[in-house]
Structures are given as structure tokens and as C-alpha cells.
Copies of this chain bind each other. A is one copy, B any other.
């Protein structure tokens, strides 16, 4: 009767990806116990009253995570996968509801590592108020993948009448970030160990769904938001400037940076504006609502360090400029090459 059996293996083998009994055992023992899917069918079947609200829209977003190392101070690839996908939904104004998770596992990966990662995912999903409702596992031979890749896809619902988009930003709107910049990128860099850097940094990896709801409630005119992941704040702002066909001005003075991150960037010649974040968003709100948005952020742990960093301007459309601490101004361009790969 195919009762669930104990998994005796300590490492993943190719047979765990073959579609047969070994795969069933791995799924039952590692994934199903953590995620508790509702059905034996290979699809989740979902309903939610918010979906049938007239004017409600469905939001769909996907991300693959390829971070190395798989575990790092402040999180692991699983936490990253949940937060990253929840945040992509949230910054677009969607309420995150359901996630799928697909795992590409390299032969030889420790099953205990998988268990830890899956447990983190279940925990972070609960914290963010989303359910992991379906998934997939594939196993590839040794050398064909780098330990573990996770792809999460998120489904959320955008309430009727809510519309956040970068092309709605207007000159004078204030740019607000919820906290310090660059912690995730700097943590991963230090965790790789190549540089013999010793720091107390931890990744900022966190879910921002509840924060975004608080901001929108306090500042209903909120125009748009982005999470500043790969490519950092600079890339997020450049994308928004291009989509809005407006200029963006930021103040170097106002940028929230830890001394440690600043110091690491100076030593290594990195620009913290391009360092990846995994729990940091930038939102544009009408000037009159900026104090309310800031207060709403600061009332939550994810937004305790919220500050206004600049504004949208009619001048230099499509371009981001920074007023430096020395009183000058420089262009903050899109990242051209790659600053640091495998960061998320």
C-alpha cells in the first residue's frame, strides 16, 4: 500500500530523481513533512475569496536562486527563495498567497542540508503568511549543478483599485528605503571565505509583505516600489527612472550604510549602491504622504531604519544622479558588468 517509509540515505543519489520509489521516499520524508501538501495530485487546487473580488488581479512572479554558499549568516538559499518571491509580489502591490518550489539537486548533496533548507522555507513562509502548495525535485549528476538551485514562483492577489507601477511616479515624489543597504551582498562576499574577511554582518534577507501593506495603508498614494536585489539600489532606481521617464536624485549623505559595509566596499573597491539586498525596498510616495509612509515603516521591525534618500525630478529623465557628501553630483549608472555573481 506504499506506506511512507523512512529514508535511509544520507546523501541524494540519482535514483532520488528517477520518478520511482526512491523519489517518492525523498519527497515524503523531506519535502511533504515540511510543506504538507493538500493533495496527491501533481497540482495544487486553490481558492481564495479575494480572487473573485470584481477588479482584483492575480500577480505572478518567479525567481531562480543560485546563491553560493547555500547557508550564510542570516539565512540560507531556502529563506532567500521565500523572501525573494514574496517581496517581488509585495513591491508590486500584491498580497502574497501561494508559492511553488522547484529543487534542482546535485547528486551527493547531504539530505540533512536539504532538511535544514526546507525547514527554513516552511518557517519563513509561515512568517510571511504564504503557503508552499506544490513543488518538484530533479536530481542531476555530480558536477552538473552546484549543490542546489531553488526556483520559487509566487501567486498573489492585487486588491481592486490598487495599481503600483514605476510609470506612475511624478516629479517631487519622495524615495524611501526601509533600512540599511548592502548587508546581503557584503555577507555573502564574506561568507565565501576567499577574502579572509571576518565580520559580524548578517544578510538582511526578510519578507516585506506585511511592511508593504502597512506602507500602502498609511500612504495610499504610494506610486511604486522595487526590492533592491541583484544590482542593488542603483539598478532598482535606474529601472524606475527609465520606466517613469523621470530623473531621480539621491543624497549620498542620506544613504543608510553600516560602517562595516562601507569599510568592506572601500577595501575591495566595490560600490555599496550595487550590492545586493534581500530585504530592502525602495518606494516612491507623494511628498505629502512621505512622513506617514516613513512612520508606518518605522513602526515595524523590517522598517526600523527607514529613511528618505531622494526624490523624482523632471530633469535628466531616465538618469539617476547622486549629490555627493562633497557637494558635487555624479551619475549613478546601471551596473555594466557583474560586480559579484551568485548572490541570490
Contacts and interface: CB of A to CB of B under 8 A. Distances in A.
A57 B61 contact: no
Nearest to A98: B60
Nearest to A143: B143
Contacts of A276: 19
Contacts of A51: 51-52, 58
A60 B134 contact: yes
B104 A149 contact: yes
B18 A337 contact: yes
A2 interface: yes
Copies held by the complex = 2
A161 interface: no
Interface stretch (A214-222, A227-235, A285-293): A227-235
Interface in A287-344: 317-318, 333-342
A92 to B, nearest CB: 4
Contact of A334 (B2, B45, B230): B2
Contacts of A109: none
Interface in A76-119: 88-89, 91-92, 94, 98, 100-104
Contacts of A23: 230-231
Interface residues of A, number: 96
Interface string A243-277: 10100000000000000000000000000001010
Contact of A62 (B151, B238, B335): B151
Nearest to A239: B40
Contacts of A341: 14, 17-18, 139-141
Nearest to A91: B42
Nearest to A45: B57
A70 to B, nearest CB: 13
Contacts of A340: 18
A34 interface: no
Contacts of A335: 18-21
Nearest to A147: B144
A296 B37 CA distance: 33
B60 A338 contact: no
A104 B53 CA distance: 36
B155 A58 contact: yes
A59 B43 contact: yes
A58 B57 CA distance: 13
Interface of A: 1-2, 13-15, 17-24, 39-48, 51-54, 56-66, 88-89, 91-92, 94, 98, 100-104, 133-136, 138-141, 143-146, 149, 151, 153, 155-156, 158, 164-167, 226, 229-232, 235, 238-239, 242-243, 245, 274, 276, 317-318, 333-342
Given A18-B340, A20-B338, A136-B151, 18 more contacts: A1-B245, A2-B238, A14-B338, A14-B341, A15-B338, A18-B335, A19-B229, A19-B276, A20-B334, A22-B337, A40-B239, A43-B61, A43-B156, A46-B57, A47-B56, A60-B100, A60-B134, A63-B102
